[in-house]
Structure 1
Amino acid sequence: MLFHLAEPAALLGILLAFLIGIFAHDAAQVLVARLVRDPTPMRSGRMMTGLKDRLSPFSAVAVFVVGYGWAESVPMNDVWRRRRFHVAAAVLAGPLTYLLLALASLAVFQPLGEPGLVRLGDRVTEVTVPNSFGAELALWMAVTFGSMFIISLVPVPPTDAGRLLFLLGPTTAGWRNARYQLAERNIGLGILLALLLLPVLFVGFPSVVGQLIGPLLRGLASLIGLNLG
């Protein structure tokens, strides 16, 4: 987001998408948890809490610097092993919500954009490009939702995939120690921040989100007959 301060459509798109994504992520997990008969998230009052309870300071820093972050974990009854698959279904609802929001944003972008020609290798193809504030806004919202989806699948706490890793993994001493190191000692948080911030600080450092967001959005766009190139 720091690099888009002079681009109103991009800046607004990132902010709107991140705020919508955070609240939609939590709502989806709470509602699915209730469907699988886990009342813990609803009783925790998560549906009524504000942004400060859904966003950690570290995620806020990531959003300010790179334009995307993650939501804080929704409390669930993931202590009983026999309930782990129920909880896993509720946790997965969060990333899937990001994906659906990205698809919806692309559907909004489709009629707002205009046809344009780009050269791909040795051929020229027609793609849809943003030609207005609204089109650019919708496209940046799709980019942000897609980025949040990718981050949620990085398999280290505090992401959803990190939670699933230890929720569905074995209960051996080695796994318990790994969970302690990654979650309790915040090593997972350090890894996640490094993945997000190092590509900004060091030119040429590979960006996980940067490498995956293009193919992800092109794949989603193809579902609605939209060509992004």
Structure 2
Amino acid sequence: MLFHLAEPAVLLGIVVAFVLGVFVHDAAQVLVARLVRDPTPLRSGRLTTGVKNRLSPFSGLAVFIVGYGWAESVPMNDVWRKRRFHVTAAVLAGPLAYLLLALGSLALFQVVGEPARIFFGDRVTDATLADSFAARFTLWLAVTFGSMFIVSLIPVPPTDAGRLVFLLGPTTPGWRNAHYRLTEGNIGLVILLALLLLPVLFAGFPSVVGQLVVPLLRGLASLIGLTLPA
């Protein structure tokens, strides 16, 4: 986001997508948890309009610098081992929500877009983009939602995939110790921030999100008959 301050449509697309994405992510997880008879998320107040406990300063920092971040974990009843598959279904609803939002944004973009060339980070990529404010806005909604989906699947806490790794993993002392170090010791947070920020701070450092978001959007676009040129 820091590098798009002079582009109002892009900046607005990133901000709107991130805020909307976090709320829809939480709502999806709360509702699916309710369907599998876990009232814990609903009681936590994550369906309210407040932002308390939804975001961390570190996620906000990532959004400010690179344009995407993650939502904080929704409390769930994952203490009992026998409920781990119920919790898994609820947690996966969050990334799925990002994916559906990205698909919906591409569908909206299809209405207003036209062929052009744009920058994805520091790579020039052929894509579909109109010069209009609305087209740039809707495209960057899709880019941000797609990026949040990818971030949510990086398998280290505090992401959704990081939560699932230890939810579904073994219960050995070594595994529990790794979980403690990654969560309470914030090592997982350091790893996640490094993966997101190092490509921006050091030219040539590979970006996990940057390498995956374009193929992801092209794949989603193909589902609705929209072609994003190579």
User: Shorter-chain TM-score category?
Assistant: over 0.9
Partner of 2:13: 13
The structure 1 segments of at least 4 consecutive aligned residues displaced by more than 6 Å after TM superposition are none
RMSD: 1.5
Partner of 1:123: none
- 2:103 maps to what in 1? 103
Pair 1:141 & 2:141 matched: yes
In structure 2, the partner of 1:83 is 83
Unaligned runs of 5+ in 1: 119-125
| Distance in 2 (alpha carbons) for counterparts of 1:60 and 1:24 | 17
1: CA distance, partners of 2:92 / 2:130: 32
Q: Give matches, 1:1-229, under 5 Å.
A: 1-48=1-48, 50-115=50-115, 128-229=128-229
1:129–1:228 Cα contact (<8 Å) kept: no
Provide the C-alpha distance between the structure 2 equivalents of 1:107 and 1:176, rounded to a whole number of angstroms.
Answer: 43
* SS of match in other structure, 1:206: coil
Give the Cα separation in 1 of the matches to 2:117 and 2:136.
Answer: 17
Report SS of the residue matched to 2:128: strand
Could you list the runs of 5+ residues in structure 2 that have no partner in the other structure? Answer: 119-125
**1:40 and 1:117, CA in 2 relative to 1: closer, same or farther beyond 3 A?**
closer
Alpha-carbon separation, structure 2, partners of 1:117 and 1:38? 47
Separation in structure 2 between the aligned mates of residue 178 and residue 59 of structure 1, nearest angstrom: 22
TM-score (normalizing by structure 1): 0.94
SS at match of 2:52: helix
Q: What is the identity percentage for the equivalent residue pairs of Structure 1 and Structure 2? A: 78
Structure 2: how far apart are the matches of 1:134 and 1:159? 31
Q: Is the 8 A contact 2:129 2:139 kept in 1?
A: no
- In 2: Cα distance, 1:105 partner to 1:163 partner: 27
Aligned length: 222
The answer to whether the 8 Å contact 2:116/2:130 transfers is no
Q: What is the rounded CA distance, in whole Å, between the counterparts of 2:183 and 2:93 in structure 1?
A: 21
Tell which deviates more after alignment, 50-59 or 79-88: 50-59
Amino acid at match of 1:86: H
Q: Deviations over 1:134-180 (max 9, x none)?
A: 01000000000000000000000000000000000010111101101
